Amino acid sequence: MYDFNLVLLLLQQMCVFLVIAWLMSKTPLFIPLMQVTVRLPHKFLCYIVFSIFCIMGTWFGLHIDDSIANTRAIGAVMGGLLGGPVVGGLVGLTGGLHRYSMGGMTALSCMISTIVEGLLGGLVHSILIRRGRTG
């Protein structure tokens, strides 16, 4: 029963992020984030927004023994998908360093996995760009 409650709590957390992202998508400031762009200001905004998502995913995570069940990967993967490998890697690095600073037995592995998740999102971004699927 404990596992099912954990899944429900993480699903609830993802729904909150979805509502926040939906509300942000309706503001003129964040409309460039919804498009693939190479402009540096848009990439910087993408880095900031998804780094915040990463950090929020960790902060609102559920502490279980010496680890944290969280949705940090959402920010890293979305940063990579929308911003490319550099943005994804930087978002992953930011979220990973934040998690590492919290300590615990899983801190290093969580940091590494968050960086890899951002880079994988960026890799998918690059593949889609090469295939001409940007819209």
Tell me the CA end-to-end span of the chain in Å, nearest whole number: 42
> Biggest alpha carbon distance in the chain?
48
pLDDT digits (tens, 9 = 90+) for 57-87: 999 888 887 778 888 999 999 999 888 899 9
Q: Which structure tokens are listed for 50?
A: 């998804």
On average, the pLDDT of the chain sits at 86
- What is the rounded CA–CA span in Å between residue 54 and residue 97? 11
With a cut of 90, say whether residue 112 has pLDDT above it. yes
pLDDT digits (tens, 9 = 90+) for 28-66: 766 666 666 667 888 898 899 999 999 999 998 888 877
Is-contact 92 79, C-beta < 8 A? yes
With a cut of 60, say whether residue 1 has pLDDT above it. no
- Which one has a higher pLDDT value, 101 or 9? 101
Count of beta carbons in the 10 Å neighbourhood of residue 115: 21
